[in-house]
Amino acid sequence: MTGTGRLPTVREADVRRWLPIGLRTAATLLVPWIVVLALSVRRFGARNLANSWVWLDVMEVAALLLLAALVRRRHRATSPLAAATAVLLAMDAYFDIWSAHHGHDYLLAQVLAYCAELPAATALTALSWYSLRWAAPDSVAS
């Protein structure tokens, strides 16, 4: 039963079961990208800027893993963390496209932004809205 005294719908139960798996998978898939990015820092010469990208991706992994745990528990902190993670992903997409060199790097930045980061940010925005009711206090029966 949920906090409202009703049984969760099949759709809600599916979301609570499959969404954490998807979030953990996304976080796991980011780890090899972080390694590649960290190893290529010296190649580009802009060490400080590239380190910023590495740490931004590390923050995304941490947020996705924490979000997976919160969704599973229907925790009240899910909504603000989902919103913050959506902002991280959108910001990552923007700066990847903005800072990419023309050619292959620019094309890769666009593909990642439009096929992964921005759709994920949109889904997390929806999750943030959907999970607001988890933070609402239960109504008191009068």
Task: Kindly report, residue by residue over 19-30, the tens digit of the pLDDT.
Answer: 899 999 999 999
pTM of the model: 0.80
Spatial CA neighbour of 55 closest among 36, 34, 28, 32 = 34
Residue 122 has pLDDT above 90, yes or no: yes
SS3 state at 102: coil
Helices (H) and strands (E) in the chain, counts: 7, 0
Highest mean pLDDT pick, 1-5, 100-104, 114-118: 114-118
Residue given tokens 């988890």 in the structure block? 134
Task: Kindly report, residue by residue over 55-74, the tens digit of the pLDDT.
Answer: 899 999 999 999 999 998 88
Q: Nearest 5 degrees, angle CA 58-CA 112-CA 63?
A: 25
Secondary structure E strands in 11-125: none
